[in-house]
Amino acid sequence: MVRIANAVRPRLARAATAAQPRIARLTKAVRPGLAHLPGPRAVRTWQYTAGAATAGLALAAGVVTLAGPWDANGQRTAERDRAVALERSGGADHGDSGTRARGPRPAPSAPAVLTGLGGTTGTVSTKKAPPGQKALADVLGPLLGVSALGGGHAAAVVDVSTGKQLYGTAADRAFTPASTTKIATAVAALSALGPDHRLTTRAALEPDTGELVLVGGGDPTLTAHPKAEGWASLRTLAADTAAALKKRGIDKITLSYDTTLFSGPAVHPVGVNDNLAPVSALTADEGRTNNSTSGPVTRVSDPAADAAGKFADYLRKAGVKTTPPGPSKATNRAETLATVSSPPLSALVERMLTNSDNDIAEALARQTALASGRAASFDGGAKAIATQLTKLGLPMSGAAFHDGSGLNRDDRLTANLLTALLVKAADPARPGLRPVLTGLPVAGFTGTLAARYTDGAAGVVRAKTGTLTGVNTLAGTVVDQDGHLLAFAFLASNTTNAQEAQSALDRTATALAACGCG
């Protein structure tokens, strides 16, 4: 026991130190609720002892959770990666979150829900306030009606445990959703492929010509960084390939690369953009020109050629000479020498949502298309997403998809659909959709919400952000003062000041968290 205590003590000390800022923040968040507790009364010694023990256990659990965080099975969740990220107009990738995610397994199932939702055209609030408290419409209406939210807005709030809509205004009207589109992409991809699906990149040797083909598997998280941190490594693939070639007595090869898994235009309709590389079935580190893992940055013009060039360098360092790589297509007779695979799809979905990663979003749209028997293109991915959501019985009226990331301004979603997607992700009958919820950025802590809500509902709001010029959106979950888990979606168009609009949406979500409206 002494040895165990000595081994654990330094880790607990580090965990406590790391958790102090977050504990302080959470303490501030819950302090108003303490005012509602009963006043002091006489207690006995055993009651003091029991209370102290309970408080100690709670503090220890809080420290471990905040320093981790961990789930019940020791699995990774999106909260693991503390990031600094700010919203940026003109793109759905909202800044450098610095996230270096590791692949989790599918998360456990969520609380029970009912998924039937009805459309509304006017402002509706079915949540009645207790005596002396405001109704939900009275709380949200003035906050959503501010001029900062532009010429039009829509909103919906749904009780996740019952599926009942508690508030709605223009909830069935379609708006440009910006990056909240990724919620739909996540649900569609997980539904079509399953949370355990992995994407594989391979090296194959042609038996007749001796040509070595690097075959792209559409993995947007393939990395050439020295430390792969759980993602598929191009360096590992090269090392394993070189070893396999040497066993065959081969130390010089003709190198080519195959990107034929994906089709159609590689460049998004918005054009060359720091928020998204040309979409290719073969890419390393999203074609980034620096060591970043998220956020806007200049991209290489040909991600496949860039990845193949790095692969050739790694082969040469391993003792295998190559020709300059060029495009080709592996035949059915090619022998696979080595492979590397991505973490489960659940991990890719979490990283996409936490960091608002456009490259992952567009790759997953194409993978959804392939699983649906469609061409792996922008158009095929968009149609596949709509088809998958329709199969799930979601309210698709007014919805229109043109990509998987939300960069396309012609995308259209309703507040009804966004909240229905979140409720569906919480359905215990569909545990494979749970990464949609665990991947949502946590207010004040992770991803695109890391620098927001520091004086508001930090740790309570979890939401996907969306920003394009003139468009600000927010959709996610929140626990209100009554302990109810609520799904919400706020969409605003024709905004003129992105920062003011963002702050208005944050205030609305904070008010929803603070509401004990029924």
Q: In the structure encoding, which two tokens stand for residue 44, read together?
A: 């006995």
Q: For residues 442 and 450, what is the distance between their CA atoms, to the nearest angstrom?
A: 7
Residue 424 to residue 477: CA distance in whole angstroms: 12
Distant-in-sequence, close-in-space partners of 208: CB < 8 Å, separation ≥ 6: 333
* Pairwise CA distance, residues 384 & 185, whole Å: 10
Structure tokens at 132: 């002396």
- E-strand ranges in 62-210 read 124-125, 152-159, 165-169, 200-205
Beta bridge partners of 464: 475
Cite the active site residues.
179, 182, 356
HSE value, Cβ hemisphere, 13 Å, CA-based, for 2: 0
CA angle 114, 116, 117 (to 5 degrees): 120
Q: What's residue 87's pLDDT? A: 35
Distances (CA, A) of 319 to 251, 256, 315, 337: 7, 18, 6, 16
Q: Residue-wise pLDDT tens for the chain (518 aa)?
A: 444 444 434 444 444 444 444 445 444 444 444 343 344 334 444 443 444 444 444 444 443 344 344 443 333 443 333 333 333 334 444 444 434 444 444 333 333 333 333 333 344 444 455 444 468 999 999 999 999 999 899 999 999 999 999 999 999 999 999 999 999 999 999 999 999 999 999 999 999 898 999 999 999 999 999 999 999 999 999 999 999 999 999 999 999 999 999 999 999 999 999 999 999 999 999 999 999 999 999 999 999 999 999 999 999 999 999 999 999 999 999 999 999 999 999 999 999 999 999 999 999 999 999 999 999 999 999 999 999 999 999 999 999 999 999 999 999 999 999 999 999 999 999 999 999 999 999 999 999 999 999 877 899 999 999 999 999 999 999 999 999 999 999 999 999 999 999 999 999 999 999 997 75
* pLDDT number for residue 508: 96
Q: How far apart are alpha carbons 436 and 426 in whole angstroms?
A: 9
Helix (H) or strand (E) holding 337: strand 335-341
CB atoms within 10 A of CB 459: 19
Q: What is the pLDDT of residue 324?
A: 97
How would CATH label the architecture of 136-194+348-514?
A: 3-Layer(aba) Sandwich (3.40)
One-letter identity of residue 512? L
Domain ranges of the chain: 136-194+348-514, 200-343
Domains 136-194+348-514 and 200-343 are alike in CATH topology? no
The helix/strand/coil state of 248 is coil
Going by C-beta distance under 8 Å and a sequence separation of 6 or more, which residues neighbour residue 296? 88, 91, 93, 95, 96, 274, 275
- Spatial neighbors of 263 by CB under 8 A, at least 6 apart, are 375, 376, 377, 380
Chain centre to alpha carbon of residue 88: 17
Write down the pLDDT at residue 516.
79
Tell me which amino acid residue 207 is.
P
Calculated CA dihedral for residues 488, 90, 402, 377, nearest 10 degrees: -120
Check residue 512 and give its pLDDT. Answer: 96
Give the CATH class of 200-343. alpha beta
CA-angle at 203, arms to 202 and 207, nearest 5°: 130
Res 455: pLDDT: 78
What pLDDT is stored for residue 113 in this prediction?
Answer: 34
- DSSP-derived 3-state class of residue 429: coil
Q: Distance (Å, rounded) from C-alpha 181 to C-alpha 406?
A: 5
